[in-house]
Structure 1
Amino acid sequence: MKTIKSRREALELCGLGAASLFMPFSMMGIPFSNVMKLRKIPMSGEQIPVVGLGTWQTFDVGSSTEKRAILLEVLKKMHEKGGRVIDSSPMYGSSESVVGDLTEKTNYPNEFFYATKVWTQGKEAGLQQIKNSIGRIRQKQMDLIQIHNLVDYRTHIKSLRSLKDNETIRYWGITHYVDSAHDRLAAIIKSEHPDFVQFNYSIRSRNAERVLLETAQKYSTAVLINRPFEGGSLFRLTKNKPLPEWCEGFQIKSWGQYFLKYILSHEAVTCVIPGTSKPHHVIDNMMAGYGNMPDQKTREKMYSFIKN
């Protein structure tokens, strides 16, 4: 088996050469299932696609025409392959404005599921920040507002419940990105019953399996997963390593799909939101939402393969 050195090479091995990186899979004769898998938001029963898009750093491009053109292609390819969830934050520089401007340039701005966050202290400051975010993303009603890293969460929970009641937002949630916050997230889920919780989880960083994932499932809280690639360190770990042959049974064609399918194979996970600014990477990420998902035995095999 040929050694796979990068995500780009993995795509080329699948028949996605450099000239075809922007072609729809349907034009290449690749036998994937027709639609991305969907999972329910427990609080409502609404279904969303299992792979979305994070915008931290990748969409903070300001007014750069060249970079915005590439990101518009990212959004189009994401939509083409069934992705809908876009996650941002006022913490992410110009990302909210870029998301709003670029989705308006598509023919389907209302087909995305928009999530952002509140990241400030105090009720009035929080409400103003939320209003600004909704304006930047160009929405009349935001799908999801989350409390970023639990900043002043007791204050913002009250505000978000009120905003949901008056239909300014559809869902509210809480977020963090480090293992040390998992117990606090679990406690808030138990006491406050948010619609969503977002946190870090990956094939090597499995602390969420201890309590948090089970708690979210028990209390009907939808789960968004950030840092699925551990800031890119997983790709450095697997550089020059070939995919195991048994990956073919799960339609895993790249290391990116390997890492994402491990996460998605946990039934408590609603959607994973890897970030990228490259069209061929977003196609690769979206394809993790297609085909068979690993069972528990395979999940452990996947972990052991990486660990060794």
Structure 2
Amino acid sequence: MIDRRRSRRSFLKLAAASAAGWWASLSPAGFAAEREPHRKPIPSSGERIPVIGMGTWITFNVPDAPGPMAVRREILGRFFARGGGMIDSSPMYGRAEAVVGDCLRALDRPEALFSATKIWTRSTSTGREQHADSLDLWGAGRLDLQQVHNLQNWQAHLETLRERREAGEVRYIGITTSHGRRHDEMERIMRSEDLDFVQLTYNILDREAEQRLLPLATERGIAVIANRPFRQKALIERFEDHPLPDWAAEIECENWPQFLLKFIVSHPDVTCAIPATSVVAHMGENMGALYGPMPDAAMRERMVAWVGDL
């Protein structure tokens, strides 16, 4: 019998294509287009994805009105122009999936897209309906990643997702938690189930996952998505009145979002982070973390000590 995980690991690596079209002009002046974005492999396949993705909680839950929709299209345009790929959403996020789908159609569905969403319900049948709705809302015949949101009814939903993966409706499956909750249960699932991804909270202050979950993910060959990289703006607001240390220039950090994101994605067990924003300029700041030198272990310790003293 062919081992499915080993077979999937033999897939050819897929390079995320640079988005082309009118939105390329959104790149800020001086951006060196020839620089390669940092990518990390998905362990179960070897496919490499950009280490900075995009979340949609709150920020893309907006009405279908010209003003808000135009801003979201521009945000996504900047995201793809600067080398982005993964967009993460959920039925929990109100209109976010619908807004993302509309924006993707307006951008002619960039090839670099890595679509990630979730099933969020205690009902097994409703979970199947949510998956079907997501395919429709994203305007896709297949999703790249489907996750069980906050472990709700995870046993039944994972069975559904395996069926959908076999049917070709999803490429990868995973589970999520947030706010540092339910780590014990997540650990048990990671040890017992065949997963491609886990999503959890990890940032420069919330580092509990370093003790067990991150090393376990590497041991089990599971990709890690870090959510709440800024604690939903709280970390930015906490640090923004303080100047960056002079040595932040060594890793080409020009602002606090880049400092905080580079700390996260430089961890060897983290695959990508998914900051969210509703401001075009902030998207440009976030995507700056996709380029330039990354902190090594000694620099990471220095970063932790610096913010601890603020």
TM-score (norm 1): 0.89
Query: What is the aligned partner in structure 2 of residue 287 from structure 1?
Result: 288
How far, CA to CA, are the matches of 2:245 and 2:216 in structure 1?
Answer: 33
Query: What is the aligned partner in structure 1 of residue 96 from structure 2?
Result: 95
How far, CA to CA, are the matches of 1:301 and 1:138 in structure 2?
Answer: 44
Query: What is the aligned partner in structure 2 of residue 10 from structure 1?
Result: none
Runs of 4+ in 1 over 2 A off after TM superposition: 22-25, 30-33, 107-111
Matched residue SS, 1:277: coil
Letter in 2 for 1:177: S
Deviations 1:150-196 (A, max 9, x none): 00001101111111111111111000102231222121111002100
How far, CA to CA, are the matches of 1:258 and 1:110 in structure 2?
Answer: 28
Letter in 2 for 1:174: I
Letter in 2 for 1:232: K
How far, CA to CA, are the matches of 1:218 and 1:288 in structure 2?
Answer: 27
Matched, 1:233 2:204: no
How far, CA to CA, are the matches of 1:98 and 1:152 in structure 2?
Answer: 27
Matched, 1:85 2:86: yes
Query: What is the aligned partner in structure 2 of residue 18 from structure 1?
Result: none
Do the aligned partners of residues 295 and 33 (structure 1) sit closer, same or farther apart at CA in structure 2, a change above 3 Å counting? farther
Matched residue SS, 1:275: coil
Query: What is the aligned partner in structure 2 of residue 113 from structure 1?
Result: 114
Q: Which region of structure 1 is more displaced relative to structure 2, 259-268 or 105-114?
A: 105-114
Query: What is the aligned partner in structure 2 of residue 191 from structure 1?
Result: 192
Is the 8 Å Cα contact of residues 33 and 290 (structure 1) preserved in structure 2? no
How far, CA to CA, are the matches of 2:199 and 2:146 in structure 1?
Answer: 11
Q: Which region of structure 1 is more displaced relative to structure 2, 173-182 or 247-256?
A: 173-182
- Show the 5 A alignment for 1:214-233: 214-233=215-234
- Show the 5 A alignment for 1:5-44: 23-25=26-28, 27-28=29-30, 34-44=35-45
Instruction: Compute the displacement of 1:278 (Å).
Output: 1.1
Is the 8 Å Cα contact of residues 104 and 110 (structure 2) preserved in structure 1? yes
Unaligned runs of 5+ in 1: 1-21
Query: What is the aligned partner in structure 1 of residue 17 from structure 2?
Result: none
Query: What is the aligned partner in structure 1 of residue 143 from structure 2?
Result: 142
Q: Which region of structure 1 is more displaced relative to structure 2, 102-111 or 209-218?
A: 102-111
- Show the 5 A alignment for 1:150-189: 150-189=151-190
Letter in 2 for 1:225: A
Is the 8 Å Cα contact of residues 262 and 295 (structure 2) preserved in structure 1? yes
How far, CA to CA, are the matches of 1:236 and 1:274 in structure 2?
Answer: 15
Instruction: Compute the displacement of 1:279 (Å).
Output: 1.1
How far, CA to CA, are the matches of 1:119 and 1:108 in structure 2?
Answer: 25
Matched residue SS, 1:146: strand
How far, CA to CA, are the matches of 1:77 and 1:119 in structure 2?
Answer: 29
Give identity over the alignment, percent.
39
TM-score (norm 2): 0.89
Letter in 1 for 2:135: I
Letter in 1 for 2:70: A
Is the 8 Å Cα contact of residues 183 and 211 (structure 1) preserved in structure 2? no
Query: What is the aligned partner in structure 1 of residue 203 from structure 2?
Result: 202
Letter in 1 for 2:27: P
Instruction: Compute the displacement of 1:23 (Å).
Output: 5.0
Do the aligned partners of residues 157 and 118 (structure 1) sit closer, same or farther apart at CA in structure 2, a change above 3 Å counting? same
Is the 8 Å Cα contact of residues 262 and 302 (structure 1) preserved in structure 2? yes
How far, CA to CA, are the matches of 1:96 and 1:110 in structure 2?
Answer: 18
Is the 8 Å Cα contact of residues 164 and 171 (structure 1) preserved in structure 2? yes
Matched residue SS, 2:147: strand
Deviations 1:96-137 (A, max 9, x none): 000001100013444311110001123222111110111111
Matched, 1:127 2:128: yes
Matched residue SS, 2:200: strand
How far, CA to CA, are the matches of 1:201 and 1:138 in structure 2?
Answer: 31
Deviations 1:5-45 (A, max 9, x none): xxxxxxxxxxxxxxxxx8524x42x5686121111110011
How far, CA to CA, are the matches of 2:180 and 2:32 in structure 1?
Answer: 38
Deviations 1:37-81 (A, max 9, x none): 111110011111110100000000021210110110000100011
How far, CA to CA, are the matches of 1:83 and 1:122 in structure 2?
Answer: 33
Higher relative contact order (CA 8 A, sep 6+): 1
